[in-house]
Each structure stands twice: as structure tokens, then as C-alpha cells.
Amino acid sequence: MVILIVLLLSYLLGCFNTGYYLVRWRTGEDVRKHGSGNAGATNAWRMLGAWAFAVALIGDAGKGALAVFLAGWLTGGDPWAMALAVPAVVAGHIWPVQLRFRGGEGIATSFGAILTLDPLVMGIICLVALVLILLTRSRALVGVVGLLILVPLAFYLGRSTAEVVGLLVLLPEVAWAFR
């Protein structure tokens, strides 16, 4: 029962799309009607500048981290609660109920959640991403490669079944939103 409460709280926390509310507050406009059509940090940048990107990135990554932290705190560190909080908070970001299920791609939220769940896995993903960005300048390639190596990396490093399952649940969410 506690895990279900954690999942619901994580989803609801994810529903707060920082970029959407920042742009709405500053301009009165819906960020999803511009640029890529989603409520993420990149679109906030297009409308308000680099400072808005930074605020949205920190806010969205922060809510991902907070969801995993709260899951651990509320359950005494239950690995299943913490691992499943990752796809739950990202689902809230991608499909926020109050925004008629049209949110962001979930990249920043995934980053914060996975960083809190497993800093080593996220650190390796970030190193791979940095190398790919420097070599190719392709954001799409970085996203695809990051998604493709996430679960095998966790498995290779001997992470818990809970973590591997949580990341497996996350993959189709982010892949769908990133398409």
C-alpha cells in the first residue's frame, strides 16, 4: 500500500512542469504552442532565454531527485519504491493530468531521478553523452544512445532487480516522448 502511495505522489510531483509554469508566469502564454510543442526546458529557453532553461532544468531534475528521495524516506529505503518512483515521476512530467496529458520529454526529470537512484550509472551515461556531443553535436543521437545503454549498464554493474525493472519501465516512456 505504501508503494502505491509513493507512486501516486511521485506522479503528482512530476506533473509540475517547471518550463510550462515559468513561461505562463512570465508571458501568460502556453509554452507548448511554440517551438517543439512540449513543456520542457528547451522550449522555455526558446521563449525566455538561457536563464529560463537553467531554471526549468534545475526544477525538473530537482523534482525527479525529490521523488526518489521521498520514496526512500517514506519506505525506509525500499529499493522497489525508489526504483519505481523514477518512471512514476517521469510519467507525471510527460503526461501531466492538469495539462491534459501534454508535458515535456522527461529528460531532465529522468536525469535527476536516476542520479539520485544510482549516481554511478548516471555518471557513466553523462560521460558517454559528453563524448557523443563533442564528436557529433547530435542531441538526438545522445538521447538514443543514453536510452539504449541505460538498462544494460545497470545490469552489467550488477544493480538490483528493482533498479533494472524501474529503468525498463522508464525506457518506453521517454522513448515515446522523445520521438
Phi-psi region of 118 (alpha: psi -120 to 50; beta: other; left: phi over 0): beta
Nearest CA-CA partner of 60 in 40, 33, 34: 40
Distance CA 90, CA 103 (A): 10
pLDDT exceeding 70 applies to what percent of the chain?
Answer: 100
Distance CA 19, CA 50 (A): 12
- Mean pLDDT score of the chain: 94
User: pLDDT of 10-47, one tens digit each?
Assistant: 999 999 999 999 999 999 999 999 888 888 888 999 99
**Domain residue spans of the chain:** 2-178
Nearest CA-CA partner of 157 in 110, 131, 124: 124
Distance CA 1, CA 170 (A): 21
| Whether pLDDT at 62 is above 90 | yes
User: pLDDT of 120-132, one tens digit each?
Assistant: 999 999 999 999 9
